[in-house]
Amino acid sequence: MKMVVLALLYGGTTQMVVAATPVTITNIVSDSFNYPAGPLAPNAGGTGWTSAWQNNGHNSMQVTTPGVLTYPGVTPMGGQINWGGGPFQISDATRTLPAVNSGVVFVRFLAQFSAQSGGGTPNLRFLSGGIETGAIGGNSGCPGIYYSILNAPALSPVGCTGKSLAAMSLVLVQIDYTSSITKMWINPVLSSFDYLNPLAPDAQANLAPAIDQVSLYMRGGSFDELSIFRVTAAAPATAQPVPGLAWPSLLGLALGIALTVAALRRRQTHS
């Protein structure tokens, strides 16, 4: 981030102004799955959500603790969720949140899905009004071993990363509702990631799924640290007075410099 420092004389006091473009991150929802070991539903921790976790009739996702998925820049808390086993191949979990359908938002999570995809898994699905609008993960195609942006309602790949679903990964997704574009990065360097002007994505697709519900479907693997947040440019810094540099001091300094320059010029003229 480049910064420019300006000194302004205003109201009898020198003002130091820093011109910069920092970002403000506003959390919409987040969950670190800091729950006791056992079924995920009906836990209701985290922030911002409008319901507890529930399953959709398949196996319940299971919480294991402590969580073992890690990534630089992400601080894991508590447990993680895993495929639950049981009579069905699929485990699922669903939770609702305030409607997200405007501006630019980011979705971020840690995951180590199963090596194969198909049959509707593994992926994090986005829904609005009970209708699927898109998903992130896999569902065959692409080929099926890679992270993809999935369309709706078919959940077929429309943007393929070439990054393995089976590897432990940080997934970062930008949904731009103004431009109707979704971009995805797998394992970006968070310490230098420019949210306002990000580098080229690993995958991109011309869709922008509205979200008021998320559903996770898996046949194996682990998932943790889910968050959805909005990023905006921060307001400009307010000018702050610098003690000891009131205008009389500056005026005296400027006058002294002018007199010194004039004296030097006179010496050069008479030499």
Task: Tell me the pLDDT tens digit for each residue of 140-185.
Answer: 888 889 999 999 999 999 999 999 999 999 999 999 999 999 999 9
Q: Give the integer Cα–Cα distance in Å for 41 and 92.
A: 10
From residue 85, how far is each of 160, 162, 221, 238 by CA, in Å? 28, 28, 11, 56
- pLDDT tens-digit profile of 95-121? 999 999 999 999 999 999 988 788 889
39 pLDDT more than 50: yes
Element (H, E) at 260: helix 247-270
pTM of the model: 0.79
